[in-house]
């Protein structure tokens, strides 16, 4: 068996271990494979560490950097995401777009599609078939959009035309293949579980599954709420079919519950919720605040955000809200929760 076959066998075995939940064993096997210098092994190690071993994030980024330098387009794309989000690198849009262009030049098709989309959306210049991205104008995008206060206590804002229809369509397609049954926090253990009051689907777009379009959306949210992206949870895409619902609940974490108290101590309180409405064409499906008599239902590209805590930081029980079921059609939302300490 030559080296290539050996590396392939190691990668296959590591994936099996990963799927079986034997993460530590998978890590060691991938480290051994990456020691060969094989591009596929470096790329696989980098993704594995970033997804399954956040305690080894720097090692994962180093592996991705080596894979990108050796010509792996997917690794270059992942580096663009981390630079755009300021994770492991100083946040820098120019450097992020340079890494995206490098990925496209290496033939990574998702990067090529992103460049085409960003050029259309933000006025960049490029020739047909060209992967060069120049002249993007983000000046308007990275300013806080106008917002309308619909409730002072609890504080609720509505933002019209936060994102373009094309951007909304893009985000839906980013999420569609990754949907699964939505879960909630278990207040006793701090883990997650299924419960009868939540019947919709969702997906959590961790950085390796994200892209520069979503990174730009999160950057605009940050300008609106005046809190930087490191305070943001992983963005979640929500999907409701007719009859699917999320019964009345609070988004803040109840510090009287042992599991949630531990979560607050480790990762902070969830102080704000931002919702971006990604589609129209459904009946019902409002976001309802029953204690204050408000229902929100934005047009495609509109958003609503609300603070889950009072100005003194204590939980605001008036923020009880529900995702009402569509009576026809399907509903898509981007949900972005924000903590009071960096994640």
Could you tell me where the DSSP H helices lie in 156-257? 165-175, 212-225
- Averaged confidence pLDDT in the chain: 92
Could you tell me where the DSSP H helices lie in the chain? 3-19, 23-34, 39-52, 57-69, 73-85, 93-105, 109-122, 165-175, 212-225, 258-267
Q: What pLDDT is stored for residue 194 in this prediction?
A: 73
Q: What is the pTM of this model?
A: 0.91
Q: What pLDDT is stored for residue 124 in this prediction?
A: 62
Domains and CATH numbers, the chain: 3-122 (1.25.40.10), 148-339 (2.60.120.620)
Instruction: State the pairing for strand pair 184-185/180-181.
Output: unpaired
Low-confidence ranges of the chain (pLDDT < 70): 1-3, 124-135
Q: What pLDDT is stored for residue 185 in this prediction?
A: 75
Query: Over the stretch 157-177, which tens digit does the pLDDT of each residue have?
Result: 999 999 999 999 999 999 999
Give SS3 for 150: strand
| The two structure tokens encoding residue 225 | 């709420």
- Which residues on neighbouring strands pair with residue 203, listed in sequence order? 237
Report d(CA 90, CA 58) in Å as an integer.
Answer: 14
Q: What pLDDT is stored for residue 129 in this prediction?
A: 54
Angle at 79 between CA 277 and CA 38, to 5 degrees: 135
């Amino acid at each position: 068996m030559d080296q290539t076959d050996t590396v392939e066998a190691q990668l296959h075995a590591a994936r099996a271990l990963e799927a079986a939940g034997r993460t530590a064993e998978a890590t060691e096997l991938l480290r051994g494979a990456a020691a060969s210098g094989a591009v596929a092994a470096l790329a696989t190690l980098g993704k594995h560490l970033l997804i399954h071993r956040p305690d080894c994030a720097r090692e994962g980024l180093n592996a991705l950097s080596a894979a990108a330098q050796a010509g792996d387009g997917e690794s270059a794309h992942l580096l663009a995401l981390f630079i755009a989000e300021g994770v492991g690198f100083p946040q820098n849009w120019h450097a992020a777009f340079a890494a995206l262009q490098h990925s496209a030049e290496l033939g990574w098709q998702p990067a090529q599609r992103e460049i085409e989309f960003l050029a259309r959306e933000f006025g960049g210049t490029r020739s047909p078939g060209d992967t060069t991205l120049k002249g993007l104008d983000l000046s308007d995008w990275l300013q806080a959009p106008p917002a309308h206060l619909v409730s002072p206590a609890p504080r609720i804002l509505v933002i019209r035309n936060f994102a373009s229809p094309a951007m909304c369509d893009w985000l839906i397609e980013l999420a569609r293949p990754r949907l699964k049954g939505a879960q909630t926090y278990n207040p006793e253990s701090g883990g997650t579980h299924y419960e009868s009051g939540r019947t919709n689907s969702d997906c959590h777009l961790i950085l390796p599954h994200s892209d520069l379009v979503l990174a730009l959306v999160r950057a605009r949210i940050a300008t609106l709420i005046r809190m930087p992206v490191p305070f943001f949870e992983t963005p979640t895409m929500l999907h409701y079919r007719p009859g699917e619902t999320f019964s009345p609940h609070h988004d803040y974490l109840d510090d009287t519950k042992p599991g949630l108290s531990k979560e607050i101590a480790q990762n902070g309180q969830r102080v704000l919720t931002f919702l971006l409405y990604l589609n129209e064409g459904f009946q019902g499906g409002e976001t309802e605040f029953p204690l204050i008599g408000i229902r929100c239902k934005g047009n495609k590209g509109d958003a609503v955000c609300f603070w889950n805590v009072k100005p003194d930081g204590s939980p605001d029980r008036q923020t009880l809200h529900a995702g009402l079921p569509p009576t026809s059609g399907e509903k898509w939302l981007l949900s972005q929760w924000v903590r009071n300490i960096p994640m």
